[in-house]
Amino acid sequence: MKRVVITGLGAITPLGNTVAEFWQNIVAGKSGAAPLTKFDASKFKTRFGCEVKAFRAEDYLDKKELKKYDLFTQYAIAACDQAILDAGLDFKQISETERYEVGVIWGSGNGGIGTFEEQLREYHAGDGTPRFNPYFIPKMIVDIAAGVISIRHKLYGPNYCTVSACASSNTAIINAFDTIRLGKATIMVAGGSEAAITEGAVGGFSAAQALSKRNEEPEKASRPFDQDRDGFIMGEGAGALILEEREHAVKRGARIYAELIGGGMAGDAYHLTGTSPEGLGAALGMKSALADAQIGPEQIDYVNAHATSTGMGDLSELKAIKSIFQDLPVAISATKSMTGHLLGAAGAVESIISVLAVYNNIIPPTINVENVDPEVPAGLNLILGEAVAQPVNYVMNNTFGFGGHTATAIFKKYTD
């Protein structure tokens, strides 16, 4: 099968709206959490989150286009434009035939939930006459970001959306990887976006007892592995990666950040929102990824854990990691301690972190851990407080979603 490399990155995140700014803040251990500004949250149990700051959609779209797209699609467009530019690609300069071999697979868990809520509010505030925006449905549906990216750049290759809750964008990246290595495309734009910091989404996750209520110190609220963690922090944004067939990338002289060598997916088959106590689905996904990559656990240098700062979720994942790595000194960190949980976009944003960890030989930290949960399996190498500079040749990126979806990708330092 063909080899697949990463040649472009783009990011819109709570810690910066470029990859450079985002990575700098991740390595520095900064938190993106702050009081909510998108709506009046004063009556909510959780009144903070990890919002994208100072995003200027008009830098990417004209006024007419802005009316057509929900915020999750605007984030997707911005991240993809960045990644395509970063990869040194100009699709306008290549033939239509070549663009038959360039596709888009994009993930999101909630799609245009903001548009959905807005339209229903306007309807119920009216006189009962059904007046809806003609863009209501295309703004709301989850697949539309993938479609818009394809239309924007005239890409005729495989094009669809993956929806597997918080595993959505990791699933998209794995599917794009498979598409290229099976010879069905030469280049794939992959990733995910989410703009679900809305009254309905925050209220719903809060009702499910999933969100932290540490309102007085939001920057310390996301604390994976800490014994006082009390839930995750809603995040938003987008991450885009350009996946490219290795020979094609080399031939055009592209910068190669890393190689994607394996992907694994599994089902936890346990609960609507919870994970099995021993992390069965997580372990199966990781084993599948290792088998696909044809490497052993001893070769993995760093695991970017899904760890969202929830009680059972963090522990079940660490138990799964322990079952696979045993006493190996693999480094483990939870970057959601800084970004919050970007839901369907989490896998893409954390794939960017994984790729840059390989490229720069830096393992980012887990912040806010004051007292490690005593139930954390002994002997795990948790990276806490500060980033660690060390050789990083293989990185495993985990993502899990409501419904028991698990997706694990493995990135490798690129060598000829």
pLDDT digits (tens, 9 = 90+) for 234-246: 999 999 999 999 9
pLDDT reading at 274 higher than 90: no
Class of domain 263-412: alpha beta
pLDDT tens-digit readout, 91-103:
989 999 999 999 9
Of all residues in the chain, the percent with pLDDT exceeding 90 is 94
Strand ranges in 129-172 using DSSP code E only, listed in sequence order: 159-162
pLDDT at 155 over 90: yes
Compute the half-sphere exposure of residue 372: CA atoms within 13 Å on the CB side of its CA. 15
CB 237 within 8 A of CB 52: yes
HEC per residue, 318-363: HHHHHHHHCCCCCEEECCHHHHCECHHHHHHHHHHHHHHHHHHCEE
Question: Does pLDDT of 142 surpass 90?
Answer: yes
Rounded CA Rg of the chain: 20
237 three-state secondary structure: strand
Beta strands 331-333 and 302-304 are parallel
Tokens of 275: 């994970």
How far is the C-alpha of 274 from the C-alpha of 268, rounded, in Å?
Answer: 9
- Of the pLDDT bands very low, low, confident and very high (cuts 50, 70, 90), residue 126 is confident
* pLDDT (mean) for 324-344: 98
Helices (H), 5-53: 19-28
**Do residues 263 and 384 make contact, with C-beta atoms less than 8 angstroms apart?**
no
297-397-26 Cα angle (round to 5): 125
- List the structure tokens of 44: 């909510």
Closest C-alpha among 149, 148, 165, 158 to residue 107: 165
- Inter-helix orientation angle 144-153/71-86, to 10°: 40
Does 263-412 match 4-251 at the fold level?
yes
Residue 333 in contact with residue 363, Cβ under 8 Å? yes
> In angstroms, rounded to a whole number, what is the distance separating the alpha carbons of residues 400 and 392?
24
**Catalytic machinery residues:** 166
| CA distance linking residue 180 with residue 157, whole number of Å | 11
**For residue 28, which amino acid is it?**
A
Over residues 177-187, the mean pLDDT reads: 98
Specify the range with the lowest mean pLDDT, choosing from 107-116, 162-171, 272-281: 272-281
Give pLDDT, residue 170. Answer: 98
Q: Which of 267, 274, 276, 379 is nearest to 322 (CA)?
A: 379
What pLDDT shows up at residue 416?
82
DSSP string over 167-232: THHHHHHHHHHHHHHTTS-SEEEEEEEE---SHHHHHHHHHTT-B---TT-GGGT--TTBTT---B
| Structure confidence by residue, pLDDT tens digits, 188-220 | 999 999 999 999 999 999 999 999 999 999 999
**Which of 161, 235, 162, 139 shows the shortest CA–CA distance to 195?**
235
pLDDT mean over 272-295: 94
Provide, rounded to the nearest whole percent, the portion of the chain with pLDDT above 70.
Answer: 100
Tell me which amino acid residue 30 is.
K
Asked whether the predicted pLDDT for residue 23 surpasses 90, the reply is: yes
Decide: 166 and 406 in contact? Cβ < 8 Å.
Answer: no
Residues 6 or more apart whose CB falls under 8 angstroms from that of 273 comprise 208, 210, 402
In angstroms, the CA 310 to CA 114 distance is 25
Cβ burial 272-302 (10 Å sphere, 16+ → b, else e): ebebbeebbbbbbbbbbbbebbebebeebbb
Backbone torsions φ then ψ of 37, nearest 5 degrees:
-120, -15
Strands 258-267 and 394-401, sheet pairing: unpaired
Residue boundaries of the structural domains of the chain: 4-251, 263-412
> 233 with 221: CB under 8 angstroms?
yes
Q: What is the pLDDT of residue 129?
A: 84
Is residue 275 scored above 90 in pLDDT?
no
Question: Which residues, listed in sequence order, are joined to residue 188 by a DSSP beta bridge?
Answer: 103, 243
Please, what is the average pLDDT of the chain?
A: 97
With tokens 């976009």, the residue in question is 345
Q: How many Å apart are CA 269 and CA 277, to the nearest integer?
A: 12
Q: Looking at residue 298, what is its pLDDT? A: 98
131: pLDDT confidence band, cut at 50, 70 and 90? confident
Q: How confident is the model over 223-241, as a mean pLDDT?
A: 98
Q: Angle at Cα 170 formed by Cα 164 and Cα 175, nearest 5°?
A: 90
Per-residue tokens: 239 = 């991450």
Q: Is the pLDDT confidence value at 130 over 90?
A: no
* pLDDT of 283 over the 90 cut: yes
CATH of the domain spanning 4-251: 3.40.47.10
Q: Model confidence over 386-398: pLDDT tens digits?
A: 999 999 999 999 9
- Amino acid identity, position 156: Y
